[in-house]
Copies of this chain bind each other. A is one copy, B any other.
């Protein structure tokens, strides 16, 4: 019988633009907050998985040794936007394996660089070289969703409005602004129909969580949050093209996670999902089973994803408002769910939240079989 795994502490930096900070300093700060909040002695931490996409060799070791933590096995893991979620899965499996009782999953990224925050274009990435960069790919998904399901520009905008509204009451959020549907529609076009307020900002930041086996978790806290499932997979090409390929991977990961947890979509009280663009949040409502296929636009417009809705989605502000420092994102999502389930989320607290889900998708827009999807289910 494999041991249960618990989250016993969490930390994250404010997400934002910190051009002067070293990424390892950001990760150090997040790790230290997580360690302090767990009340665990650093020597008790047996393994580290550190997620990042563009931060150079031995990211995790460089962050940890800034607080004098050296010697342990560190796996630096990368899965594009799902790097942080992959770090969670790595530590989760180590503890399930009995290879460790306490581990740290961390992630960080510095996307604001001297050259303005542009990511390198990979030599073999024909999509990006030919102009189908991420916003363009998601714009095509949005147009397709509008055409097939009648999703409207106002419904897309409603996602941004909701997430900015949540972010405004999250002290760690990057974009702090009260915006309306009209603001979203009237902001500069990035890739039609997506405007600037339909897209996540370019952010720096880091996050960390401490995971522990059931054997030791209650030594550190009487309110551990169980990490019931942590599922990582990679994409498969489908015959239905763009929109369905991203969804296929998410649907499959969520299905596995629900099965492991013995829970379903209606059990989820709070959710942090992968919303780098407002259209992404809409398709993922559907993928995660919060509404039927094609109903995502109405779901958000009717307030069902609000803090007091059927399921509170992106209470932290999500990638759209809180920010999306790639390697940090999946870890920060688990931190947010941890705080929500413990009732420690302050003004943005989802009342009575007992079960939460986090979800990230990484990798190319079209070459989806080279992407990754990460889903976690947590409960208290």
Known A-B contacts A75-B79, A124-B24, A369-B70; A61 and B98 likewise in contact (beta carbons under 8 Å): no
Task: Tell me which residues from 226 to 256 in chain A have a Cβ below 8 Å from any Cβ of chain B.
Answer: 231-237, 252
Indicate whether A97 reaches chain B with its CB closer than 8 angstroms.
yes
Question: CA separation between A308 and B78, bound complex, in Å?
Answer: 42
Question: Could you say which residues of chain B place their CB within 8 Å of the CB of A62?
Answer: 124, 367, 370
Interface centre among A64, A93, A232, A371 (most CB of B within 10 A): A93
Task: Tell me which residues from 45 to 75 in chain A have a Cβ below 8 Å from any Cβ of chain B.
Answer: 53, 56-59, 61-62, 64-65, 70-75
- Is A22 in contact with B124, judged by CB distance below 8 angstroms? yes
Question: Could you say which residues of chain B place their CB within 8 Å of the CB of A70?
Answer: 234-237, 369
Known A-B contacts A76-B79, A78-B78, A234-B73; A61 and B97 likewise in contact (beta carbons under 8 Å): no
- Is B232 in contact with A75, judged by CB distance below 8 angstroms? yes
Known A-B contacts A24-B124, A57-B53, A369-B65; A90 and B71 likewise in contact (beta carbons under 8 Å): no
- Is B122 in contact with A233, judged by CB distance below 8 angstroms? no
- Is A372 in contact with B58, judged by CB distance below 8 angstroms? yes
Task: Tell me which residues from 356 to 371 in chain A have a Cβ below 8 Å from any Cβ of chain B.
Answer: 362-364, 367, 369-371
Question: Could you say which residues of chain B place their CB within 8 Å of the CB of A94?
Answer: 93, 97
Indicate whether A120 reaches chain B with its CB closer than 8 angstroms.
yes
Indicate whether A2 reaches chain B with its CB closer than 8 angstroms.
yes
Known A-B contacts A232-B73, A237-B70; A56 and B122 likewise in contact (beta carbons under 8 Å): yes
- Is B58 in contact with A370, judged by CB distance below 8 angstroms? yes
- Is A61 in contact with B235, judged by CB distance below 8 angstroms? yes
Indicate whether A13 reaches chain B with its CB closer than 8 angstroms.
no
- A307 to nearest B CB, angstroms? 33
Question: CA separation between A97 and B98, bound complex, in Å?
Answer: 7
Question: Could you say which residues of chain B place their CB within 8 Å of the CB of A370?
Answer: 58, 61-62, 65
Interface centre among A77, A80, A231 (most CB of B within 10 A): A77
Indicate whether A349 reaches chain B with its CB closer than 8 angstroms.
no
Indicate whether A189 reaches chain B with its CB closer than 8 angstroms.
no
Nearest B residue to A89 via CB reads B73
Task: Tell me which residues from 1 to 59 in chain A have a Cβ below 8 Å from any Cβ of chain B.
Answer: 2, 22, 24, 53, 56-59
The residues of A with any CB-CB pair to B shorter than 8 Å are 2, 22, 24, 53, 56-59, 61-62, 64-65, 70-80, 86, 89-90, 93-94, 96-99, 120, 122-125, 231-237, 252, 362-364, 367, 369-372
28 contacts between A and B (CB under 8 A): A56-B125, A57-B122, A57-B363, A58-B78, A58-B79, A58-B364, A59-B78, A61-B235, A61-B363, A62-B367, A62-B370, A64-B234, A70-B369, A71-B233, A71-B235, A71-B236, A71-B252, A72-B233, A72-B234, A73-B231, A73-B234, A74-B79, A75-B89, A76-B79, A77-B77, A77-B78, A90-B90, A96-B97
